[in-house]
Amino acid sequence: MEKISTLTGPIIPLRYSNVDTDQIIPAKFLKRVTKTGYEDALFHGWRQDPDFILNRPEYANGGILVTGADFGTGSSREHAVWALRDFGITAVLSPRFGEIFKGNSGKQGLLTAQVPEDAIEQLWAAAEAAPGTEITVDLNEKSVVSGELRFGFDIDDYTRWRLREGLDDIALTLQHEDAITEFEKRRPSWMPTTLPAVASDA
């Protein structure tokens, strides 16, 4: 995972709220067994429309997605993050995110910045007046800057720290190997185990 301090790219104004993960990446793409190469799948349904915002040449190399409230609700599919990332979207700005999506993003190095509704409106207006308008997301300052516009954003401290350090989750946890082993020794014997499989699945 790469360390993040600032990210700059064109504002991609997506004027929708309640964008669920089925819209970000439809279920049919979940059948792939790889971890990369999902750029074609991003917003696949909407991209059939030639006028859809992501089909514009300004955004061919990705950018910073600026979208309405409740982005990434619905299914837990992490492919939603991979599709955004593979398309070249490095950060998403929204007034509110789906919980699982937000968690998945932090772990994959996709920055989700919570920005108030009126700031989103202003950024949309700016990008629509001048497509390709750039924005810089500063993780150190917790701010977004685009021309004259400047807003703070919310992100929890832990996720911010991890993104800045570019830390892999598992390595972080395995530092507590001893505590895990200790905990396992105390696990009550009534708790379930899946092995051995009992008679009835013969």
Partner 1 sequence: MGKTLAEKVWQDHVVVKGEDGAPDLLYIDLQLIHEVTSPQAFDGLRQAGRPLRRRDLTIATEDHNTPTIDIHKPIKDPTSAKQISTLRDNVAEFGVRIHSLGDKEQGIVHIVGPQLGLTMPGITVVCGDSHTSTHGAFGAMAFGIGTSEVEHVMATQTLPLKPFKTMAINVEGELRPGVTAKDIILAVIAKIGTGGGAGYVLEYRGSAIRALSVEGRMTICNMSIEAGARAGMVAPDQTTYDYIKGRDHAPTGDDWNTAVEYWETLRTDDDAVFDAEVSIDANELEPFVTWGTNPGQGVSLSDEIPAPDSFSDPDDRSAAKRALEYMDLAPGTKLKDIRVDTVFIGSCTNSRMEDLRAAADIIRGKKKADGLRVMVVPGSARVRLEAEAEGLDKVFTDFGAEWRFAGCSMCLGMNPDQLQPGERCASTSNRNFEGRQGKGGRTHLVSPLVAAATAIRGTLSSPWDLENQNDQIAKEA
Give the residues lining the site for partner 1 (CB under 8 A): 17-18, 20, 22-23, 26-28, 30-35, 45, 68-70, 73-79, 81, 96, 98-100, 103-104, 107-108, 156-158, 169-170, 172-174, 176, 179-180, 183-184, 187-195, 197-201
Return the residue matching tokens 């499989």: 197
Distance of CA 126 to the CA centre of its chain: 23
User: Residue 100 or residue 145: which is nearer to partner 1 going by CB?
Assistant: 100
Q: For residue 119, give the nearest of 89, 88, 96, 103 by alpha carbon.
A: 96
Kindly state the smallest distance separating residue 16's Cβ from partner 1, in Å: 8
Nearer to partner 1, 2 or 189 (CB): 189
CB 171 → partner 1: shortest distance, Å?
Answer: 9
Quote the least distance from Cβ 134 to partner 1, whole Å.
28
- Looking only at the bridges linking them, the beta strands covering 89-94 and 111-114 are parallel
- Minimum distance, C-beta of residue 51 to partner 1, in the bound complex (Å): 16
Distance CA 175, CA 30 (A): 32
Closer of 10 and 68 to partner 1 (Cβ): 68
Beta strands in the chain (DSSP E): 6-14, 63-67, 89-94, 111-114, 134-138, 143-146, 149-152
